[in-house]
Chain A
Amino acid sequence: MTRQSSVRAAALLVLWAAIVLWHGHGHGPATQHGAPRLAYIGPGAGFAFLGSFLTVVISVVASLLSFLIWPFRILWLAVLRRGRFGKAQVKKVIFLGLDGLDPKLTERWMDEGKLPNFSRLREQGSYHRLRTTFPPLSPVAWSTFSTGVNPGKHNIFDFLNRDLRTYAPELSSAKVRPVTRFLKIGKWKLPLTKASVELRRKSEPFWKILGRNAIGSTILRVPITFPPEAFDGRMLSAMSTPDLRGTQGSFTYFSTGPDGSACEGGVRFPFTASGDALEARLPGPETTSVVLRVTPGQHAGERRLEIDGATWALRVGEYTPWIRLRFSTGRWSSARGIVRFLLTSTDPDVSLYVTPVEIDPENPALPISHPGYYALYLAKLLGSFATLGMAEDTWALNEGVIDEDAFLGQSKLIQAEREAMFFSALEHTRRGVVACVFDTTDRVQHMFYRYLDASRKTSGGSRHAGVIEALYRDMDRVVGRTLEYADGNTALFVLSDHGFCSFRRGVNLNAWLLRNGYLFLSEGVAEGGAYLAGIDWSRTRAYTFGLSGLYLNLRGREAQGLVAPEEAATLKAELIVRLTNLLDAETGEVAIQHLYDSEAIYSGPYRDAAPDLIAGYAPGYRASWSAAVGTVTNSVFEDNTKCWSGDHCVDPSVVPGVLFANRRVESDNPGIEDLAPTVLQLFGITPPRWMEGKTLVFAAAG
């Protein structure tokens, strides 16, 4: 705070205190009984008037100044941009990110002539397999794409990290801190601190460097951008943006049928009958909820939905539009959310699926865009849209709350929203960067890969057997549309962060560590609980949670660390020898190809937060569902029976991504870290020395 503003704040504080004291000594209006009244808690009418007056004066002066300097500002920016663009090799760079697009499938279908636009791009420019990160996970790989550095410098090693004092796993990408201090006045509770949201991804993305050099960017749905950072450009956040309940997406399911089993990814509630209507409460943030009523429709497969003062038609199998809801969080406060409803059946039971309550882009409860009004602008321009980090509801399909057609329908609606944003940005961008990541490719492959896996009973024969091929063809259509915006002054890159393979068997490394004397359960505990519950830390030397990491219980780092730092290298070497080529006796297959020492693959100031060892699973294997949440089971291997049947949490050499460019890339073995320095170089900016990626080498034109 500057000295001038401090003085001004102090003066206002003194004025406010004087007015309050004056009221407090009986100079204010009295009650009917003559006693001083305290119904109004605030700085007083005088301050309110003065405050409003000052606001008006300051606004007028600021507007006037802004108007007066506007021509000079435009001139200055034009000069700056002319200078910058004068050194640039291109006017525009487009990044079309297709999360999880697999090179093996892409190459196969290009060779079969099914992806004509990808093929055209390969012929006119170039195509390479793109080296991915350790581990090949979207939050890790897209953070490397943004910053051009290894995870040791950007701090994202997995979806999860852990609190070293409590061993509690937590989301690695963002931290939402609630209000912690309140002032209680009677029944009122006034917050003394503000809720805060903190981005855990470190280093600096290329769009901030471009912005400092007067080159604007539009960054749409690139993972690990929540909360959005300020820069010269526009951004819509993506992966790790929570829903209004603060989770990563939890659906609600109402039914007149049996209660069913407990939900992992949402909550189930029964309807309450009221005459011929069905009633229920849709939960929102904290303890809030809104009442909904479902009444009979005109036909058998129809119902009417009354919620928040509006009525909507429901038809089996059809999603409603986004419906805006208001959850009252206090006397004067509320939070706005959006949901879609899907009537899944009317006979014999009426069942209603509700998407997670997502942050309303027109009135966001948390920051989801930069500038703050950008989400509102997009919603007003193109209609409301999904804001959740992982919006395609994979858990609802896993748990049978919606069927495959409903999941695909939802994915298509989300894809259409993002396409509208992307092509609108391309339409309005003459110079600078447009980057957009579509993640429908990832979600649909996760849920439908079983139809590509010949060893599974579900493969072939089903009408869903061609879903993934249809998905790739649809992405080919998007590539074709994008090519229309790529003229001679535009560099176009179509890329994915990793590929895909089947996920048939899960490995619980905690179970292996237990059997082999590296991990112990507390006295009397037969099997550990989720999130490392039941572990005897005083005897445990190694443990796992998350999708590929293995941690030593290191003295001086973990709260109850056991392994002395000087013993760590020996223990790691021992585990590498014993776990490399780990055999699954039931199938006779190798489950772990390699175990990597993170000291050898990561460098940078955040390396201490990394797992000590990274498991490179063989295709078909992955950390089991129980191991991912840190449970110690008795069985090392388990079948994966969920619809979530494709994955990429394996050895990075197994699942590279793709890189297409509309110019010939001559670099050998390009990696995802090379894109950030390349875009800087294309705009004539020397990449900073902390960036590790190498600028791609292009063939001379002509």
Chain B
Amino acid sequence: MASKVSVKLSKPLCDRARNVVEKAGYSSLEEFIEHAVERDLAKLEQSESKDDLIRKMKGLGYLE
């Protein structure tokens, strides 16, 4: 399991985020922040090679 680290946010930003967490359907503020970071990381990080992705799916019964 991934260990967690603390990151500091400005209080006004944190309060704004907290106000929309439930409305957006997140279970926690932490989940909301993680999703925001993940969305940007997906645009910035290098994609995994297609061959690696396919290898990882090998053997899944539902797929040929």
Residues of A within 8 A of B (CB): 1, 147, 149, 152-153, 159-160, 163-166, 168-171, 176, 196-198, 202-204, 227-230, 242-243, 246-251, 264-266, 356, 367, 370, 390, 394-395, 443, 446, 530-531, 547, 603-606, 625-626, 628-629, 644, 649, 688-690
CA distance A250 to B28 in the complex (A): 38
Q: Let me know if A390 and B1 touch, CB within 8 A.
A: no
Q: Let me know if B59 and A176 touch, CB within 8 A.
A: no
Can you identify 9 A-B contacts, CB atoms within 8 angstroms? Answer: A159-B63, A171-B53, A204-B28, A247-B59, A248-B59, A250-B58, A250-B59, A390-B60, A690-B27
CA distance A481 to B49 in the complex (A): 48
Q: Let me know if B61 and A547 touch, CB within 8 A.
A: no
Please indicate the chain B residues that have their CB under 8 angstroms from the CB of A625 in the complex: 63-64
CA distance A228 to B1 in the complex (A): 6
CA distance A242 to B32 in the complex (A): 28
Please indicate the chain A residues that have their CB under 8 angstroms from the CB of B47 in the complex: 163, 165-166, 168
CA distance A628 to B35 in the complex (A): 28
Q: Let me know if A367 and B1 touch, CB within 8 A.
A: yes
Q: Let me know if A247 and B56 touch, CB within 8 A.
A: yes
CA distance A678 to B59 in the complex (A): 36
CA distance A690 to B22 in the complex (A): 6
Known: A170-B48, A246-B55. A605 touches B62 (CB 8 A): no
CA distance A511 to B6 in the complex (A): 49
CA distance A198 to B1 in the complex (A): 8
Please indicate the chain A residues that have their CB under 8 angstroms from the CB of B55 in the complex: 246-247
- The reply to whether the CB of B15 lies closer than 8 angstroms to some CB of chain A is no
CA distance A390 to B22 in the complex (A): 35
Please indicate the chain A residues that have their CB under 8 angstroms from the CB of B43 in the complex: 165
A139 to chain B minimum Cβ distance, whole angstroms, is 10
- The reply to whether the CB of B54 lies closer than 8 angstroms to some CB of chain A is yes
- The reply to whether the CB of B42 lies closer than 8 angstroms to some CB of chain A is yes
Q: Enumerate the 3 nearest inter-chain pairs by beta-carbon distance, A residue then B residue, closest first.
A: A249-B59, A604-B25, A625-B64
Q: Let me know if A171 and B56 touch, CB within 8 A.
A: yes
- 19 extra A-B contacts, CB within 8 A, seeds A247-B57, A605-B35: A165-B42, A168-B50, A169-B53, A197-B2, A227-B1, A248-B59, A249-B60, A356-B59, A390-B60, A390-B61, A530-B54, A603-B25, A604-B24, A628-B62, A628-B64, A629-B63, A629-B64, A688-B27, A690-B25
B50 to chain A minimum Cβ distance, whole angstroms, is 5
Q: Which of B24, B60, B62 has most A Cβ within 10 Å? A: B62
Contact partner of A203 (CB less than 8 A), chosen from B22, B31, B54, is B31
Within 8 A of A (CB), among B1-46: 1-2, 5, 22, 24-28, 31-32, 35, 42-43
| Residue of chain B at shortest CB distance from A396 | B59
Please indicate the chain B residues that have their CB under 8 angstroms from the CB of A171 in the complex: 53, 56-57, 60
Interface residue SS majority, chain B: loop
Please indicate the chain B residues that have their CB under 8 angstroms from the CB of A160 in the complex: 57, 63
CA distance A383 to B47 in the complex (A): 40
Please indicate the chain B residues that have their CB under 8 angstroms from the CB of A176 in the complex: 56
CA distance A204 to B1 in the complex (A): 15
Please indicate the chain A residues that have their CB under 8 angstroms from the CB of B58 in the complex: 247-248, 250, 265
B59 to chain A minimum Cβ distance, whole angstroms, is 4
| Residue of chain A at shortest CB distance from B46 | A180
CA distance A443 to B53 in the complex (A): 24
Please indicate the chain B residues that have their CB under 8 angstroms from the CB of A547 in the complex: 62
A693 to chain B minimum Cβ distance, whole angstroms, is 13
CA distance A196 to B53 in the complex (A): 15
Please indicate the chain B residues that have their CB under 8 angstroms from the CB of A690 in the complex: 22, 25-27
Q: Let me know if B2 and A202 touch, CB within 8 A.
A: no
A511 to chain B minimum Cβ distance, whole angstroms, is 15
CA distance A163 to B64 in the complex (A): 20
Please indicate the chain B residues that have their CB under 8 angstroms from the CB of A153 in the complex: 25-27
CA distance A305 to B2 in the complex (A): 39
Q: Let me know if A169 and B57 touch, CB within 8 A.
A: yes
CA distance A599 to B5 in the complex (A): 35
Q: Let me know if B25 and A644 touch, CB within 8 A.
A: no
A342 to chain B minimum Cβ distance, whole angstroms, is 17
Please indicate the chain A residues that have their CB under 8 angstroms from the CB of B31 in the complex: 202-204
| Residue of chain B at shortest CB distance from A175 | B48
B37 to chain A minimum Cβ distance, whole angstroms, is 12
CA distance A205 to B51 in the complex (A): 33
Q: Let me know if B56 and A605 touch, CB within 8 A.
A: no
Please indicate the chain B residues that have their CB under 8 angstroms from the CB of A626 in the complex: 64
A244 to chain B minimum Cβ distance, whole angstroms, is 12
Q: Let me know if A166 and B25 touch, CB within 8 A.
A: no
| Residue of chain B at shortest CB distance from A606 | B35
CA distance A370 to B2 in the complex (A): 12
Q: Let me know if B48 and A265 touch, CB within 8 A.
A: no
Q: Let me know if B1 and A264 touch, CB within 8 A.
A: no
CA distance A204 to B47 in the complex (A): 27
B28 to chain A minimum Cβ distance, whole angstroms, is 7
Q: Which of B28, B32, B64 has most A Cβ within 10 Å? A: B64
CA distance A133 to B50 in the complex (A): 29
CA distance A135 to B33 in the complex (A): 28
Q: Which of A160, A170, A228, A628 has most B Cβ within 10 Å? A: A170
Q: Let me know if B26 and A446 touch, CB within 8 A.
A: no
CA distance A11 to B26 in the complex (A): 41
Please indicate the chain A residues that have their CB under 8 angstroms from the CB of B59 in the complex: 243, 247-251, 265-266, 356, 390, 395
Please indicate the chain B residues that have their CB under 8 angstroms from the CB of A603 in the complex: 25
| Residue of chain A at shortest CB distance from B54 | A531
CA distance A171 to B63 in the complex (A): 11
B42 to chain A minimum Cβ distance, whole angstroms, is 7
Known: A163-B48, A197-B2. A248 touches B25 (CB 8 A): no
Please indicate the chain A residues that have their CB under 8 angstroms from the CB of B32 in the complex: 605
Please indicate the chain A residues that have their CB under 8 angstroms from the CB of B56 in the complex: 170-171, 176, 242, 246-248
Q: Let me know if A644 and B53 touch, CB within 8 A.
A: no
Q: Let me know if A152 and B1 touch, CB within 8 A.
A: no
Q: Let me know if B2 and A248 touch, CB within 8 A.
A: no
A481 to chain B minimum Cβ distance, whole angstroms, is 28
Q: Let me know if B50 and A166 touch, CB within 8 A.
A: yes
Please indicate the chain B residues that have their CB under 8 angstroms from the CB of A163 in the complex: 47-48, 53
Known: A247-B55, A247-B56. A644 touches B61 (CB 8 A): yes
Please indicate the chain A residues that have their CB under 8 angstroms from the CB of B57 in the complex: 160, 169-171, 247-248
Please indicate the chain B residues that have their CB under 8 angstroms from the CB of A243 in the complex: 59
| Residue of chain B at shortest CB distance from A198 | B2
Q: Let me know if B25 and A229 touch, CB within 8 A.
A: no
Please indicate the chain A residues that have their CB under 8 angstroms from the CB of B48 in the complex: 163, 168, 170
Q: Which of B5, B24, B25, B47 has most A Cβ within 10 Å? A: B25
Q: Let me know if B2 and A152 touch, CB within 8 A.
A: no
Q: Let me know if A230 and B25 touch, CB within 8 A.
A: no
CA distance A511 to B38 in the complex (A): 34
Q: Let me know if B62 and A649 touch, CB within 8 A.
A: yes
CA distance A644 to B61 in the complex (A): 9
